[in-house]
Amino acid sequence: MGIVSPGFTGRRRGGEELPPGQYVTHEFPVLSAGPTPQIRTEHWEFTVATETGETSRWDWAALMALPAETITRDLHCVTRWSKFGTEWKGVSLDTLLADVETAADFVMVHSYGGYTTNLPLEDLLDGQAWIAYQYDGEPLAPEHGGPARLLVPHLYLWKSAKWVRGLVLSDTNDLGFWESVGYHEYGDPWKEQRYAGD
């Protein structure tokens, strides 16, 4: 008999939902695919390129001038830790993409340092994703992706690319860094989509 009963979809802990296979931590573990880039805000830039080559750009001052939101969400890492009630401040992707004309279905996220990850565009819209630049009321530390990271809390945390510098919209779902070495191309923690084939 298996350890987990068929149909197990997670459990409640302290009134909060915990996806299957996860454990709760009060720490904020630091995991990165390479060295931590040191990006000064005066050199930071965020771009969105459409499938037709149209590009929109924001420097740090332009990002700070946009309406910001405070977001409290649970985080779930593919390495099985979950952290409840994390508080962020950032700009919604709905705001950044409001004037971008596209028929694309997919996005490749690019980070300073070369990291990439792929997402369906619909997962960045409708209040599901932000460019976050504060964590717990403080500027986002470099080890957690500062000065700004993508925050897509409904997916495993590797989809919330640290040190984000841009999005490329596309008609094709090309694989990012971890996806190209066997991680799941979507990464839903509630379906335990850790690896290709899950």
3-53 pLDDT per residue, tens: 333 444 444 444 568 999 999 999 888 877 778 899 999 999 999 999 999
Mean pLDDT across 118-146: 97
Contacts of 6 (CB under 8 A, 6+ apart): none
Q: Specify the pLDDT at position 54.
A: 95
Q: Percent of the chain scored above 70 by pLDDT? A: 92
Q: pTM for the full model?
A: 0.90
Q: Say which residue the tokens 């090309």 belong to.
A: 174
pLDDT at 61: 98
Please report, rounded to a whole number, the percentage of residues in the chain having pLDDT higher than 90. 85
Q: Is the pLDDT of residue 179 over 70?
A: yes
CA distance 78 to 188: 9
Average pLDDT of span 57-66: 98
Q: Is residue 117 within a helix (H) or strand (E), and if so which, with residue range?
A: strand 116-120
Whole-number CA gyration radius for the chain: 17
Cis peptide before 139 (omega within 30 of 0): no
Q: Of 81, 83, 78, nearest to 186 (Cα)?
A: 78
Task: Enumerate the domain spans of the chain.
Answer: 21-26+44-191
Interatomic CA distance for residues 183 and 78, integer angstroms? 9
The structural architecture, per CATH, of the domain 21-26+44-191 is: Alpha-Beta Complex (3.90)
Residue 112, token pair as written in the block = 């300073």
Q: Of the ranges 13-17, 71-75, 146-150, 155-159, which one carries the lowest mean pLDDT score?
A: 13-17
In angstroms, the CA 55 to CA 16 distance is 40
Other C-beta atoms closer than 10 Å to the C-beta of 121 total 17
How far apart CA 18 and CA 1 sit, in angstroms, is 23
Q: In the prediction, which pLDDT does 32 show? A: 73
- Rounded average pLDDT over 158-177: 97
User: Is the model's pLDDT at 78 over the cut of 90?
Assistant: yes
Question: Confidence band (pLDDT; 50, 70, 90) for 190?
Answer: very high
